[in-house]
Structure 1
Amino acid sequence: MPVITHRAERAPACIPPEWAGVGACALPVAAGAATGLLECHALVLVTTGPLLADVDFTSHLAGPGTILWVRPGQALHFDLPGRAGDHQPPGHRDDGESPDEAATVVFRPGLFAPDELPGLAPDDPDGPARTPLVLPDPAVFRAAMDHLTADAAGPPGRVAAALLRHQLAALLLRIRLLDRTGSEVANVEARTFERFRRRLEDGYPHSRRVEDYAAELTCSVRTLTRASLAVTGRTAKQVVDDRVALQARRLLAATDLSVAEVGRGLGFGEPTNFGRFFHRETGLSPGQFRARFADRPGGIPGPRQPTD
């Protein structure tokens, strides 16, 4: 499946070329298409739309002239409004023409250093355009993305790679100028929480203990909890559990890993412990949650027995 990783399988033609790290890809839009895990960054500019974009189990309606930035590792599902029950293959049109719902540019993580672009860390999952951003000049963005797409299809080389990086940087900085969400870290508690959030992205598969994060950040559990409550209204422990539960939902919805394998990968030694945690956080058992995604054409299989 283009752009996304389905059942942990790569789609080499839609991964940015290694020499550039930037490329373009057709958008996987189909009624009932499977949820997948994004393997790279994707800038999705809706051209004719609207599109329904489910990103990490939150639905967004993106109209023409909006852009959405989807991050690596996020669970992704696209659909077209009004196509429920329509099981035509992706890209089907009665007139035989190919669809042009959106323009998509993909780029690999780590392409830019954290401080390379002023006011923007591209690999930060809490960055701009996490929800559809209405563009004042969509034609400018479309032209820039079309130029990038054409250059990415040209002959490889150092000059071409540098050009693509500059073109992408300009796009990302334009997005930052339009959406300043999360760009200001104004007080001590906000800065503390920002450090905690970034450390959590690396540490959640290994530890759910707030004490461990406080020790790494050389502060107290009370300080982390106060900062978390001030920024999110959730305690530090709840923030940690929210992140673990999100990853569990991603893996259950978009891979064929067994429930036991998902639990082990998130640090749960026993499937029963993982099951209790997941039910507490979501109100569903892992099997019940997975079953919601198993009836889509090409979707993931249901829970396996008896190990699940």
Structure 2
Amino acid sequence: MMVTTGQPSPATRTGLSEPRLGTDEIVTGALDDLTADRGWSRPVLLDRDVLILVTHGHGTAELDFRAVPCRPGTLLRAHPGQALRCVGTQLDATVVSWGPDALRGLDVDPDAVPTHRQLAGEDEDAVIGEVSQLAVDADRHALVPAAAALLRHQLAVLLLRLSLLPHPDRSPAPRAEAETFRRLCREVESGYRDTRRVEDYAARIGCSVRTLTRACLAVTGRSAKQVVDERVALQACRLLAATDEPIARIGRRLGFPEPTNFGRFFTREVGVSPGAFRAGRERPLPVRLVRPRPPADSPAPAGRA
């Protein structure tokens, strides 16, 4: 059963993807609440920030077309706009979801939590305890408006704890180049539908194309142009897999007025045509993506839409 903070209307109890949830609401529930399709025959596009803590079973989660093996203690951090699908053996998980204003005013960076962690030992015990208490309190106080502050602070503590865990995949890039890369990702996130020119992003940031490329190579091993194109290709993959929107319209939304140009771009980046990618979307990991591929320390904004 889905539960929310504050005093929810009936509409707020229908699932985590319900668009009428308040922007400051915190929601807890089960994994199947994320999709209307209990069989997860295709990915779903998330519209809220999500934490998933696997409690029972084994299987695989596909987050933006990357397979993540799941077992008890697996923690997934997903962002609005990402494509999620769960396949294989039935998984049980506790899901925590929150809107963009849920943590306003609190000194916590939810984007510091890594995408995937396999918890163990004392860390696992502490996270399980905090997630369980948050879910219990959300259920117990669902109709008490004053409980919203309690859940906000519980979520903040949980995210702070997760952000402090050792991060074995953190990029060794120098701080200045890592910051330039983060700034590029933020600009790409807001502008990838309009331009794929690295020169445009360099102008927005106030640096040279060479500086952007050097930063991207340091963090990801790929050029700035590849980073921009991979973001566009990723959004195309999401829309092709999780929606029935016509391929030509998806191309136009992403800045390709001509379908042939979109087809050539997608095939170059992903390795198959848009039609072939969509045709295989109901099979687990229908294609092996060469790109887009997130860097090891990819900042969260690059996954938002």
Give the structure 2 partner of residue 227 of structure 1: 215
1:1-308 pair list within 5 angstroms? 13-15=14-16, 17-18=21-22, 20-28=24-32, 33-81=41-89, 101-113=92-104, 116-118=106-108, 120=109, 122=110, 124=111, 127-137=112-122, 138-153=124-139, 154-180=141-167, 182=170, 186-294=174-282
CA contact (8 A) 1:278 1:285 kept: yes
Amino acid at match of 1:22: I
C-alpha separation in 2, matches of 1:40 and 1:184: 30
* RMSD (CA atoms): 2.7
Q: Which runs of 5+ in 2 are unaligned?
A: 3-10, 285-305
Give the TM-score of the pair, scaled to structure 2.
0.78
C-alpha separation in 2, matches of 1:241 and 1:247: 10
CA contact (8 A) 1:60 1:132 kept: no
Per-residue CA distance 1:35-57 (angstroms, 9 max, x = gap): 11111122111112223111011
CA apart distance, 1:232: 0.9
C-alpha separation in 2, matches of 1:183 and 1:281: 24
C-alpha separation in 2, matches of 1:116 and 1:31: 37
Give the TM-score of the pair, scaled to structure 1.
0.77
CA contact (8 A) 1:53 1:78 kept: yes
Per-residue CA distance 1:60-85 (angstroms, 9 max, x = gap): 1122122111211111111234x7xx
Q: Relative to structure 1, is the Cα distance of residues 103 and 185 closer, same or farther in structure 2, using a 3 angstrom cutoff?
A: same
CA apart distance, 1:249: 0.3
CA apart distance, 1:134: 1.7
Structure having the higher helix fraction is 2
Report which stretch shifted further, 207-216 or 17-26: 17-26
C-alpha separation in 1, matches of 2:203 and 2:251: 25
Per-residue CA distance 1:198-241 (angstroms, 9 max, x = gap): 22111111211111110010111111111111111111111000
Report which stretch shifted further, 211-220 or 11-20: 11-20
Q: In structure 2, the residue corresponding to 1:47 is in which secondary structure? A: strand
CA apart distance, 1:20: 4.8
Percent identity of the aligned residues? Answer: 46
Q: In structure 2, the residue corresponding to 1:69 is in which secondary structure? A: strand
CA apart distance, 1:135: 3.6
CA contact (8 A) 1:252 1:286 kept: yes
Q: Relative to structure 1, is the Cα distance of residues 196 and 295 closer, same or farther in structure 2, using a 3 angstrom cutoff?
A: closer
Q: Relative to structure 1, is the Cα distance of residues 201 and 12 closer, same or farther in structure 2, using a 3 angstrom cutoff?
A: farther
Amino acid at match of 2:28: A
